[in-house]
Amino acid sequence: MAHQECDKLIDYFNGHLSEEEKQAFEQHMQACPSCREELAEWEALSAELPFLSEAEEPPEGMKERVLTNVWNSDDTSSPETSAPALDEKRRSRKGPLATWFVGAAAAALLFSLAGNGYLLMENQQLAEDREQLAGEAEQLAFERDVIEADYEALLEQEDEEGGVADVLLASNLASTDEELFTGEGSATIIAEDGHVDLLVQVSGMPELEGEEAFQAWVIEGETPISAGSFTIDDDGNGAVRYRLSDMDDIQVDQIAITLEPQPNNEQPQGQMVLASP
């Protein structure tokens, strides 16, 4: 942890830390003599930078004219003693150590700027990722709400339409000629959800050929009323459902099944094969 704090020294020196990070690093320096010593070296180096450039020789005669004006305004100094002293001071501030510090400072500053640029790019990418994830989460929440609403509506519909079916009539359908036809079936009239339906089911029926179809009939007196055509599966099973409540004041006297040459006839054309008593 202390090593991570020490790594913030350059950013602290460059003023790249937030106020909160700055206060935390200053608290760290109170217990870290290494950071205090290095910071002092950086500050001293920054103070020395103006003196580390190579001196340029002024045009001939310029130095004497400037110094003559200075000496004329201040008699306590002389050109003979001050000029060499100034040159000596300049030379004393240069050397291999100062040059090394300049190179190190430039490299450290460059590294710090590159690191800051990389962190900026990373922060921008993280912000974009967070925004995308937030959008996806919002879409998922919306879809979840839609599904929950549909499910609740379905439950309400089942509650409204639900109920126990009342069986009004149940009868077996027997073969009209057992020597020629061995199938069997059943007819059930049920009341459910405010409707009256006829459900006809058969089994063991013979295989159909061409356009043949079985057709159910509701017989009122001597009048047959079509209850719909149906086919059978490979095992001879089939079924048809017909809404009786759509017929006005019908009186069901008998239910029969015929084998028709084509489906959906208005009147029976084929042989009656099953019938209720």
Closest to 170 measured CA to CA, from 187, 185, 182, 184? 187
Task: For residue 249, give Cα distances in angstroms to 61, 171, 196, 226.
Answer: 134, 21, 12, 16
Residue with tokens 């800051």: 116
127: containing domain? 2-132
* pLDDT averaged over 10-residue windows placed end to end, the chain, 277 residues: 78 88 91 90 74 59 65 51 48 49 63 70 86 87 81 69 71 83 87 84 89 91 89 89 75 89 92 89
Q: Which of 109, 132, 155 finishes a domain?
A: 132
Judge if 75 and 188 occupy the same domain: no
Judge if 218 and 123 occupy the same domain: no
Domain CATH code at residue 235: 2.60.40
Task: Annotate 182-192 with b (16+ C-beta within 10 A) or e (fewer).
Answer: ebebbbbbbee
Is residue 187 situated within a structural domain?
A: yes
Is residue 117 situated within a structural domain?
A: yes
**How far apart are the C-alpha atoms of 244 and 194, rounded to whole Å?**
12
CB 256 within 8 A of CB 275: yes
**What pTM, to 2 d.p., does this model score?**
0.41
Judge if 8 and 125 occupy the same domain: yes
Number of domains in the chain: 2
Judge if 180 and 250 occupy the same domain: yes
Judge if 176 and 128 occupy the same domain: no
Q: What is the pLDDT of residue 81?
A: 45
Is residue 142 situated within a structural domain?
A: no
**Structure-derived torsion over alpha carbons of residues 265, 267, 270, 271, reported in degrees to the nearest 10:** 130
Q: What is the pLDDT of residue 49?
A: 60
Lateral strand order in the sheet of 195-203:
223-230, 213-220, 254-260, 271-275, 166-175, 184-192, 195-203, 238-243
Q: What is the pLDDT of residue 77?
A: 45
Closest to 24 measured CA to CA, from 34, 37, 11? 11
